[in-house]
Amino acid sequence: MKTKKTTQTPGADLLSMDEAIARLKTTRPTFYRWLKTGKLKGMKVGRQWRFYAKDIEGFLKGESLRWDLPTDIGPLVNALRAHAGVKAPNLSALSDAERVALAVDLVLKGAIKLGATDIHLDSVRDKGRIRYRLAGTLSVAAEFDGRLLPALIAQFKTVTTVCPLDILNHPMDAKIMYDEAGGNYDLRFAFLPAIGGMVMNIRILPRDIAVEGLDWLGVNPVSRKRLDRVLSAKPGRQAGMVVFSGPVASGKTTALYAAVKEVATPERKVISIEDPVEGILHGVVQTPVTGALPFPALLKAALRADANVIAIGELVNAETITLGLKAAMTGHIVIAGMNAASSARALKRMVEIGVAPYDIAEGIRLVTSQRLVRRVCRDCAVKDTPTAEELGWAAAAAAACGLDWEAQPRKFMKGAGCPKCGGTGFRGRIAAFEALEVTPAIAKLVREAASEEQIEALAVKQGMVTMAADAIARACAGETTLSQAMAETGDS
């Protein structure tokens, strides 16, 4: 694929950056801005930028980058237009470059309209594809001739305004602010070289997150009672740390934000330390982590700032965890996030990365964990008959996690598929939730370096509702399906 309707030859017509700046008669900052916004095209040779003289001359004449597309992009534009729900202009009146720009704009508009959290652009066996992640599941939005992929990737790079439109394939990250349909979003781009060419992912994060409290989460009554008991503690008396754990994309940050909102009253000073700050929490002092100010440094500063409540976006290492635990043991309420497969696993992982078992046993009051299961679409819900395998799993899992299987209702439902759920039968997600309270008996097991299986068994005996039990109960009530419960919590 050619990126300009001119023939380039290596050698004498290559200019260094200084030579290009001199020919354009501009300043270095202005030149960088042109380069980063895609107005200029360059390439890296080793560590040095090089520019074709014809590109510089074309820029001086007001020419912009043009594409000679190897095939018609019209079918892709039409497919994307259907998702975006907008009328596109007459394609015959547009140049190839304008068609590529239109396709990229429709990709973003369609993702926002459908409520996607991610956009994936890649190719498989010479066929390009655009996929949206909807309610945690990837679905194909459009397929196209794979030869169009380089032009689309290059246009997305220019949209970021920070990624140079160069010819080399190397990983790039970028972030832009994007406004669409009255909403404000942060788009986080990740470009990755692959065998079939550069591929791209965009994470879509609403800037104006409507942070709701714990009622909105729909936490099961047993877990909610335990959360309330910890979060309502008066700083200085029975304070401690509550850890929201789970794997990536399990909703733990949403749960952490909900908990922070519960405690952010005018009588309390709340400081959160996050990497990155995912949304605005009113009444909370939010501090982003930077290279110069990592978690431990910011946590020490928060302790000196007379905070009653400290929120830590992620417990990343032993030093951060230990400082957080010491804050919890000196009268602060500490709310933290952590990557771990289960509540019991979170306790063991802290020991494994070097935190003293005594500090864990003394400082932590509650550890939660969760998975997101897809909610049955209420507009097309019909009665469901689970398979024998699903029923067998549910009965065995219920017995293992203390759930009375026989006492559960049998209101199994599934979605038949309708326009509101995009034919999937699901709309939205709900959290299968567990809350492990660090009682004196659990603390004793932690100090004795007991296994996570032993810790979880005792927690269940003391009344913990596990994620699997919660998911099964929700399936029995018709909120989700047993297949979803099994898929998301079958190994928990």
40-57 confidence digits (pLDDT tens): 777 777 678 888 888 788
Q: How far apart are CA 198 and CA 156, in angstroms?
A: 11
Q: Can you give the pLDDT at residue 256?
A: 93
Task: Return the DSSP state at 252.
Answer: H
- Please say whether the beta carbons of 400 and 472 come within 8 A: no
Higher-scoring residue by pLDDT: 429, 455: 455
Q: How far apart are CA 371 and CA 251, in angstroms?
A: 7
Higher-scoring residue by pLDDT: 452, 168: 452
- pLDDT per residue as tens digits for the range 258-314: 999 889 989 899 999 988 787 778 889 999 888 788 888 898 898 889 899 999 999
Average of per-residue pLDDT values in the chain: 85
- pLDDT per residue as tens digits for the range 154-184: 888 878 764 444 444 567 788 888 888 777 8
> In the numeric block, which tokens belong to residue 103?
């396709």
Please confirm whether the linkage preceding 276 is cis (ω < 30° from 0).
Answer: yes
> In the numeric block, which tokens belong to residue 325?
């635990």
Give the global pTM.
Answer: 0.73
CB within 8 Å of 94: residues ≥ 6 apart: 102
> Cα separations (Å) of 377 from 64, 423, 484?
48, 10, 13
Confidence category of residue 464, pLDDT binned at 50, 70, 90: very high
CB within 8 Å of 419: residues ≥ 6 apart: none
Q: Can you give the pLDDT at residue 340?
A: 94
Q: Can you give the pLDDT at residue 4?
A: 40
Task: Return the DSSP state at 126.
Answer: T
Pick the range with the lowest mean pLDDT from 111-120, 159-168, 341-350: 159-168
Q: Is the sign of the CA dihedral 333, 337, 340, 343 positive or negative?
A: positive
- pLDDT per residue as tens digits for the range 221-241: 999 999 998 888 776 666 899
Give buried/exposed letters for 205-215 (b at 16+ CB in 10 A, else e). Answer: beeeeebeebe
Taking residues 318-324, report their average pLDDT: 94
| Amino acid symbol at 371 | R
> In the numeric block, which tokens belong to residue 55?
């590109």
Q: How far apart are CA 325 and CA 350, in angstroms?
A: 11
> In the numeric block, which tokens belong to residue 54?
């014809």
pLDDT of 187 strictly over 70: yes
Q: How far apart are CA 155 and CA 149, in angstroms?
A: 10
Q: How far apart are CA 348 and CA 321, in angstroms?
A: 13
- Please say whether the beta carbons of 104 and 119 come within 8 A: no
